[in-house]
Homo-oligomer: A and B are copies of this chain.
Amino acid sequence: MILELREKGLLAKEAAYHLGLADTTLKDKALIKMADDLEARCGEILVANALDMQAAKEKDFSKAFLDRLLLTENRVKDMSEGLRAITKLSDPVGEVESMWTTTHGLQIGKMRVPLGVIGIIYEARPNVTVDAAGLCLKSGNAVILRGSSDAINSNIKITEIISKSVETAGLPKGSIQLIEDTSREVANQMLKLNEYLDVLIPRGGAGLIKTVVENATVPVIETGVGNCHVYVECDADLDMAEKIIINAKTHRPGVCNAAETLLVHKDIAEKFLPIVGEKLRALGVEMRCCSVAQQLIPGSQGACEEDFAEEFLDLILAVKIVEDINEALVHIRKYGTKHSEAIVTNDYKKARLFQRAVDAAAVYVNASTRFTDGFQFGYGAEIGISTQKLHARGPMGLKELTSYKYVIFGDGQIRA
């Protein structure tokens, strides 16, 4: 095993033990110190980030890529504010969700405990370094971060600052660590670091997530890829349907809870599509349509099979006319990524059928898919949106970064 992984793994495991026992006041103190230190040493961060930006520009990365990589004084302030906001969230560790007494008089409680050591693998977004570290710390977990080589200077500087803050506040040295060797070999070994990691959370695009899921032996929580649908039933309030699809598609097209496909019942397609198509077009949305829909929306293009499978993350929308709700359900089963799905309908039975039959983290009736978000759900900041079914589903906040243990109080009970 590569030395850096072994050393940091050992340190993280030791840190996790003490972090798991740390009280909320101490953890919050560390979060505030992290926030203050990031602001105080903002200049150093911007210098490190400038190196990454310079290298990225030379590599001819896209504008969107450069924008995600860029740090400014305001963005550093936002990261700090994010940490301060985490101190306002309630600490799940130690919470006993239920407690009961068995027939033998044993009192059994189910108590929340941290997961242990969390590995985060992510792309060139230095803000993830801070967000993830803050959420892991508050939930009592040690974190091992592995960011992109394109953000390595920013990440090293940020981690240097916040891991120092945590130590100063009185928490263990190994609470927050960054893998500095960004080689593929190290990444591959990290995927199999079962000895030290309790869970791995990849944050990034579909390619990164696929690589992690297919190669990791450490338990993974799959996040983020959202090929979300809005299905408009024949009895839908068409004004409502129009507002919902426009919001779901255009409010923030680059995020995972944005809609990528509009499914429309055949009976209302002729009435609905020309109007909504015109409005979407005016908002800059490119539409890729099945043949009938294409005829109903002037200026739209034809869709190929792949268009229905793709998470565009852009002002592009696939459009398809379906026979009925059953065809819509089959389509969603085939192309959906179990993220967020919505139906617009006024039919009680169809609403119920859609909610039962669709297998996704969030299933909406008459609302925009854009609400699948930790803050909107009332959970606060999230580490990602899980699209798998094991452990946690949907927005993952502090509670989803914990496990539980049974604490059992007896008076000498033995089993008969």
- Whole-angstrom distance between the alpha carbons of A356 and B94 in the complex? 9
For A348-374 the 0/1 string (1 means CB < 8 A from B) is 000000011101111111111011100
A377 & B108 in contact (Cβ 8 Å cutoff): yes
Indicate if A61 sits at the interface (CB-CB under 8 A): no
Expressed in whole angstroms, the minimum distance between the Cβ of A102 and any Cβ of chain B is 6
Chain B proximity of A152: nearest CB distance (Å): 28
Task: Please give me the residue from chain B that is nearest to A100 by CB atom.
Answer: B378
- Tell me the smallest distance from the CB of A220 to a CB of chain B, in Å: 7
Residues of B with C-beta under 8 A to A244: 412, 414
Once the chains bind, are A389 and B198 in contact (CB under 8 Å)? yes
Asked if A367 and B407 sit within 8 Å, CB to CB, the answer is no
Q: Are A362 and B243 in contact (CB under 8 A)?
A: no
CA A404 – CA B392 in complex, angstroms? 8
Q: Judging by beta carbons under 8 Å apart, are A371 and B214 in contact? A: no
User: Most chain-B CB neighbours within 10 Å: which of A100, A237, A248, A405?
Assistant: A405
The majority secondary structure among interface residues of chain A is mixed
Q: What distance in Å separates the Cβ of A339 from its nearest Cβ neighbour in chain B?
A: 11
Interface string of A371-408 (1 = CB under 8 A from B): 11000111000000000111101100000000111111
In whole angstroms, how far apart are the Cα atoms of A411 and B367 in the complex?
7
**How many residues on A have C-beta within 8 angstroms of the other chain's C-beta atoms?**
70
Distance in angstroms between the alpha carbons of A20 and B356 in the assembled complex: 9
User: Which residues of the partner chain B approach A368 to less than 8 Å between Cβ atoms?
Assistant: 413-415
Tell me if A219 counts as interface (CB < 8 A to partner B): yes
Give the chain B neighbours of A333 by CB distance below 8 A.
Answer: 17
Nearest CB of chain B from residue A229's CB, rounded to whole Å: 14
Q: A217 contacts the other chain (Cβ, under 8 Å)? A: yes
Contact of A414 among B102, B359, B367, B406 (CB under 8 A): B367
Q: Confirm or deny: A215 has a beta carbon within 8 angstroms of a beta carbon on chain B.
A: yes
| Inter-chain contact B413/A363, CB cutoff 8 Å | no
Residue A247 at the chain B interface, CB threshold 8 Å: yes
- Picked from B104, B219, B365, B410, the residue with its CB within 8 Å of the CB of A219 is B219
- A-B contacts, 29 of them at CB < 8 A, read A17-B357, A17-B359, A102-B376, A104-B376, A108-B377, A192-B214, A194-B213, A198-B390, A199-B389, A219-B388, A219-B390, A244-B414, A248-B414, A251-B414, A362-B406, A362-B408, A363-B407, A363-B408, A364-B408, A365-B409, A366-B409, A366-B411, A366-B413, A367-B410, A367-B414, A368-B415, A370-B414, A370-B415, A371-B415
List residues of A whose CB falls within 8 A of some B CB: 17, 20-21, 100, 102, 104, 106, 108, 113, 115-116, 192, 194, 198-199, 213-217, 219-221, 237, 240, 243-244, 246-248, 251, 333, 355-357, 359-368, 370-372, 376-378, 388-391, 393-394, 403-415
